[in-house]
Structure 1
């Protein structure tokens, strides 16, 4: 199911702020945002109700309790941004006063915006703004970091379980993790290939909890059975037992 993202304007309407980057925007805690997530399915089933008074674009009504909203799927978004569903405005139902009711107020704003033109309404002001697009891009980057670090920890856990190297590759990039125990201590080697940006390498190494930049050393030659090849960098570190235990405990695999 497609998620429906509230715009900054909508969050302001509802008295909310942007959540932390590790919280997807459509999961912001508010009844109206939660109800808006049903919009794509409602449209597919023929149950979505249009905001008929604002007809320069296709907007749909979102109703829950005393809250009202407007949302839709926009295709006229910047390059490299997929068509996204947005909840573009929110407010309160005022059944006893059209001048204060959410849809009445929204219609009045769009009519004022169209003054001096041939159109009767103009809903350009409801469209996602630059801050909304930047937030989406930043979220994608943050989610990418979370996903990459999850892969790194999973490789380490699998290596600790198998006592051998474990590899993952994707889109021309490769990772190898090898945990080796000897003399009562655990050593970890991580090989990276195709990570051209040093910040990406930092993301990989930062995936191991409790480790700092000083914990790692770069290996010019073979370590733990891994010999750096062309374009490969190998980093090694002593792996504290509590760090390995924490990763195993958090892992989706059944290693304990």
Structure 2
């Protein structure tokens, strides 16, 4: 199961948080309900409590402190689609308000569609929209570069220890790295890429590889003093 994340609507309207830059994945935002959702849905085999009042979608409960949330799972990715605070015995209680809003949305839908809904609720407007998927894909690129940088750093450390090539397998390609340093002076970097990669990815690997090599070279020189 991939890390739970909020929809952009939930982030802005329910949690009242500003949208961070794309370099900050939404599942890394610090908030009690997001942390609880990440913990609760980390294991696909864990049982969850369904929100029974909602019958048009399968939504699950998330509870922490006074925060309450609704999670929808799509393609092994949990989304926090709505959130609010617990108010026992009040019409403003999150789950009571969620049910009321969903029933009102169903009434509005049926008022303008001849083929009315047979369910008692309507929550499709809460589910991830196009902008949510665009954001997720943009973050995936950031995550890849993060992982690539970490892999190159580890490969650089390994090859500096013995002067041999070290490699790591990715989804569709294998990346090999060999660095040779002449007592902290000239440094030679060889990068081997085998497998299927987009043309622009090679430039990214080379660019990150050079940065990592320079960084390692500086650290090696610092360590020699």
TM range (shorter): 0.7 to 0.9
Measured in 2, the distance between the counterparts of 1:27 and 1:157 equals 28
Deviation at 1:152, TM superposition (A): 2.1
Judged with a 3 Å threshold, the aligned counterparts in structure 2 of structure 1 residues 92 and 133 are, in CA distance, closer, same or farther, namely same
Cα-Cα RMSD: 3.2
Question: Which position in structure 1 is the counterpart of 2:127?
Answer: 127
Q: Deviations over 1:208-255 (max 9, x none)?
A: 5758xxxxxxxxxxxxxxxxxxxxxxxxxxx65x64254899xxxxxx
Q: CA deviation at 1:70?
A: 0.8
Equivalent in the alignment of 1:110: 102
Match of 1:30 in 2: 31
Q: Of residues 213, 217, 221 in structure 2, which corresponds to 1:244? A: 217
Q: Quote the Cα distance in structure 2 between the aligned partners of 1:4 and 1:135.
A: 14
The 8 Å contact of residues 166 and 178 in structure 1, kept in 2 or not, is answered as yes
**Partners in 2 of 1:248 and 1:70 — Cα distance?**
53
Q: SS of the counterpart of 2:161?
A: helix
1:94 to 87, 93, 103: 87
In 1: Cα distance, 2:102 partner to 2:162 partner: 63
Report 1:45-56 matches (<5 A).
46=47, 48-56=48-56
CA distance in 2, matches of 1:10, 1:72: 12
Name the counterpart of 2:113. Answer: none
The total of aligned residue pairs comes to: 212
Relative to total residues, which structure has the larger helix share, 1 or 2? 2
**1:11 Cα offset (Å):** 1.0
Q: Distance in 1 between matches of 2:28 and 2:183?
A: 48
TM-score using structure 2 length: 0.77
Q: What SS does the aligned partner of 2:135 have?
A: helix
CA gap 1:173/1:43 in 2 versus in 1, 3 angstroms? closer
Unaligned runs of 5+ in 1: 75-81, 212-238, 250-256
Contact kept, 8 Å, 1:149 with 1:203, in 2: the verdict is: no
Larger radius of gyration: 1
Residue 31 of structure 1: how far off its partner (Å): 0.6
Task: Give 1:14's aligned residue.
Answer: 15
- 1:177, distance to aligned residue in structure 2 (A): 2.9
**TM-score, L = length of structure 1:** 0.69
Q: 1:174 to 1:60 in 2, by over 3 A?
A: closer
Distance 1:167 1:70, change over 3 A: closer
Give 3-state SS (helix, strand or coil) of 1:58's partner.
Answer: coil
Q: In the alignment, is the contact (CA less than 8 A) between 1:175 and 1:190 conserved in 2?
A: no
Q: 1:145 to 1:248 in 2, by over 3 A?
A: farther
Structure 1 residue 119 displacement after superposition: 3.2
1:187–1:26 Cα change, 3 Å: same
Unmatched runs of 5 consecutive residues or more in structure 2 = 111-115
